[in-house]
Structures are given as C-alpha cells and as structure tokens.
Amino acid sequence: MPFNRRQFIEVSLATASLAVLPAARLGAADKKLKILFLGGTGFLGPHTVRYAQERGHDVTLFNRGRTNTDLFPELETIIGNRDPEIDDGLSGLEGREWDAVIDTSGYVPRITGASAELLAGRVGQYLFVSTICQYDNWAEGGTNGSEDRPGATLDDPTTEDVRTHYCALKAYCERAVEEAMPGRVTQIRPGLIVGPRDGSDRFTYWPVRIDEGGEVLAPGKPSDLTQYIDVRDLARFMVHCLEQGLADTYNVVRKPMPFGDLLSACVTAIESDAELTWVSTDFLAEHDLQAWRDIPAWADSDSPLAGSLTWSADKALAAGLTISPIEDTIRDTLAWFRSLPEERQATLRAGLSRDKEASVLQAWHSSGRAEGT
C-alpha cells in the first residue's frame, strides 16, 4: 500500500529534528572544534552542519547568501564569493582562524586552490569533498586500496567547464588543496549521494515510484549491482575525520548490492503493493532507454558502466565510516519527498515518466519475450 500518513508523520518528525540517522553519534565530542564551512546550505552541507552542531562544534558558514538563506540563522555567516576575482572574493576570511575547514563547494582548481592557499596558515585541517569519479578510468571500479590510483587528467587543465569536465576538475581541485596544505588534507571521494534533500531524484525515483504501486519497470537483471552512500552517513564520517584528525584519502560508498535487493527493500520498507517486472537490457536499448540518463542508479553488469558501482570503501570503513540500514534511507527519503510542495512532487527530475514506463511495459508484454526471462 502507499506510504501511509502515520508512517509519513513519524519519519518526517524524526528526520526534521535531527537531519541524521538514529545511529548517529549524539552527544558532545571530546574536543570542541571551530569549523569553517565553505557552502553549507545545499544538500550535503545542512546534514553535515547539523551533525557538527549536535557534536558541540562551533560552525561558521562562508557562502554567497543566496541559497536556502533560512537555514541556520543562529550561525555566523560570512558573505563572500569562492572566486577571488568576483566582488570581495574571500576577503571576509582574512584575519580569522579555525581548527578545520569543510569544503563541499569546490569545483574549479583555480578557485579551490585560492581558498586553500588563503586558509593554509589559518586552519589546521582542510577536508575537501571530491568524487569517486575523479579517478582515471573510474568506470572500471576499484578494490581495496584503490585510493592510491591516479586521478583523471585533462589536455587543458586550465579549463573551467565544470559541466563537461566535472570529474577531472575535481581531481585537479584535490591536487590544488594538497599543494597548499601538504599533509593536512582529508580527501573525501563519495559515490552517488542519496537521502533527504537530494534534489537530483536519482535515488529518490525508486522509493517514490514503488510507493505509487502497480507494475514497476525494473531494469536488466536483479543481480546487476548498484552502490550509493546515505548523505547522513557521509556527514557523520566527515565530522569524524575532523574529530580524529584523519588527514588521508577515502572512498566513501556502501558495499555494492544487487539492484534487485534495492527494489525489494523499497517494496518491503514502504509496504507497497508494487509488482516488479524485469525488462532485459537489450529491450530497453531498443526503446532508447539508457542507464542513468533514463534509469538512475543502475547499470547493466555487462556494460562499460558496471564498474562505476563497484568501488571499495574498506579504508573508510576501517577508519570509522558507518553504514545505515537501507530501509532507513528509503523511508526517510520518501518522507522528505512527500513533504515537498505538490508541484515539486509532480515532477521527478530523474527516472521514467509514467507514460513512457507504461508504453515500454506494454511493448515488453506484447513482444512475448517477458515469458522467457
């Protein structure tokens, strides 16, 4: 059945009050830190800021003051620009000192390097949020110890075309920070970040679609792998790295899991009457449906993208990364989405439209190939 009102209210209250999972380390940290947050008002930022507050840390925000300005009125916010060439740039940070900085908004090495250089003598530790795709040939995946693999390179490393070169530019950002503060940098490389506040809907599509019930198009094979990291798990680990002074590099993802397990967990956690119909990869291709572009968080096990969802986070797990139950991620994500305005809920930003899904399912059944799966 659809996500009922009682469940929605219970989970909404829980997620709104803490913005972290129940498994979070609540209570004060052993040492109170002064943390500068570059950004802090988007998706990952609010979860991390809130958890740092729960741990008793003193957080200062630095941003343009344009996004979600209603968040954290109790915190000091320094208005400025990451780009030192725009307006007053980073000047608001001059003359100040912090124990650590968290950078979730660095995408261009020139700009990221500027903040790292300015803060090198003003902070003890710089935590930079990069991405799992910064690796050279990242779609191959990586086993334990893969953090030592080389990052991607560009023919023109001065480009600032983030839309085209997002992954490689993150690799150059990492290098810029390390050059400015050698031995004092924590590089965080998350995979697909999911959970409440995720505006991309790449994971959210599945709980929402299964909550609606009926026949659901499931892609490929149940054994195809998927991988993600709950934003709250990521936030906790980032603060943990600062508290423990861990200046190292970490892939941050949960272990790969069969896509069938993800969808089955959605059905169970939501108590949905949805019925999964697995449609073969070749049939999806015949109808111009592609992994990620049309079907998020999935890749066929025989495709070149399959390895992108099979990275190891053994190093982070050994350092203190904790992974929350998938059911919590599913329920909390759905509760958050159902709390949004109706017009936002009516337009998912990822996944298949209901009309497209219905037409492909009809064609699948009419083809006679469904009986052979």
In tens, the pLDDT along 260-296 reads 999 999 999 999 999 999 999 999 999 999 999 999 9
Tell how strand 58-63 and strand 76-79 pair up.
Answer: parallel
Percent of the chain topping pLDDT 90? 90
Kindly list the distances between the CA atom of residue 116 and the CA atoms of 50, 60, 103, 244, in Å, as whole numbers in the listed order: 24, 16, 9, 21
Mean pLDDT, residues 29-39 taken together: 96
Read off the pLDDT of residues 121-160 as tens digits, 9 standing for 90 and up. 999 999 999 999 999 999 999 999 899 999 999 999 999 9
- What is residue 264's predicted lDDT score, i.e. its pLDDT? 98
CATH of segment(s) 5-362: 3.40.50.720
- Check residue 373 and give its pLDDT: 55
Q: Which of 48-57, 65-74, 231-240, 260-269 has the lowest mean pLDDT?
A: 65-74
pLDDT class for 13, splitting at 50, 70, 90? very low
Question: Which helix (DSSP H) or strand (DSSP E) does residue 257 occupy?
Answer: strand 257-258
Backbone angles phi, psi at 56, to 5 degrees: 90, 10
Residue 190 has pLDDT above 70, yes or no: yes
Residue 317 has pLDDT above 90, yes or no: yes
pLDDT over 90 (residue 20)? no
pLDDT at 215: 98
Question: What is the rounded average pLDDT for all residues in the chain?
Answer: 93
H/E element, 119:
helix 109-119
Q: What are the E-state strand segments in 89-156?
A: 98-103, 123-129
Evaluate if residue 100 carries a pLDDT over 60: yes
Q: What is the pLDDT of residue 288?
A: 96
For residue 102, pLDDT over 60 is answered with yes
Tell me how far apart the alpha carbons of residues 57 and 60 are, in angstroms, rounded to a whole number. Answer: 10
The pLDDT of 38-60, averaged and rounded, is 97
Question: Which of 77, 79, 100, 75 lies closest to 89, judged by CA?
Answer: 79
Question: Which percentage of the chain shows pLDDT scores above 70?
Answer: 92
Q: Structure pTM?
A: 0.92
What is the C-alpha separation between 361 and 11, in angstroms, rounded? 33
Residue 16: per-residue pLDDT: 42
Average pLDDT over residues 343-353: 96
